[in-house]
Structure 1
Amino acid sequence: MALGDKIRKLGSDAVSAGNPVAVLFGKVTRTNPLEVNVDQRLTLEEDFLILTESLLRYEADLTHYHLSGGGATQDALTDKLVIRPGLQTGDTVLLLRVQGGQKYVVWDKVVTS
């Protein structure tokens, strides 16, 4: 079998083995528990979603103290700083359907400029 024929057969076998990865858009309809709606016909619950780290809430605690001239301490930056807010209801997300269609990777948020 020629190399080109082998490559075509491998590609055909990969597609016929199941549903290949597909790119989809969804809208977050609920955050706790997470729920994403795709094409207004399919609602994916948290059990079917795989999140990437960049979509999780991330905050930093920058609490520190200042010494005044008299030696007393004064609290500074007592609130946590939100670096990433995480997914919010209404966010549009980019999804990758894993081969077989049972799980979906929530790849990233979609933003408009």
Structure 2
Amino acid sequence: MTNLVRALKQASVGAVEAGAPVAFVFGEVKQVNPLEVTVDQRFALDEDFLVIPEQLTPYEVTVGDQTIVIRRGFEVGDSLLLIRMQGGQRYLILDRVVVG
């Protein structure tokens, strides 16, 4: 009978996870090169697990002798909003979060 209960528990957990295929989590940049993000102060993710949108990549242009920063890259201490994609293996960084 305990095997049946265990199987029912596993099936219910699977159903709950299938009903919520993504989850929003907060992270903090701990290291920039290579990129490392700590999620909810519990575990660290490196670039292999992160999907970084173009809007968060550094972009600079040089006009004459002046460099203009269009988009800054990540800095240590940046707070981030991430989406854990279904399966929990990859995280999409949505944006920086203003804490204050």
Q: How many residues align?
A: 87
Counterpart contact for 1:14–1:20, Cα < 8 Å: no
TM-score normalised by structure 2 residue count? 0.78
Query: What is aligned with 1:42?
Result: 43
Alignment of 1:1-113 (within 5 A): 15-17=16-18, 20-63=21-64, 78-112=65-99
Would the alpha carbon gap of residues 16 and 44 (structure 1) be closer, same or farther in structure 2, given more than 3 Å must change?
closer
**What are the ranges of 5 or more consecutive residues in structure 1 without an aligned counterpart?**
1-12, 64-77
Choose between structure 1 and 2: higher helix proportion.
Answer: 2
TM-score normalised by structure 1 residue count? 0.69
The aligned amino acid for 2:50 is L
For the aligned residue pairs, the C-alpha RMSD in angstroms reads 2.0
Superposed CA offset, 1:27-77 (max 9, x none): 0000111000012211011100000111100111211xxxxxxxxxxxxxx
| Partner secondary structure for residue 87 of structure 2 | coil
**What are the ranges of 5 or more consecutive residues in structure 2 without an aligned counterpart?**
1-13
Query: Residue 112 of structure 1: CA displacement?
Result: 3.6
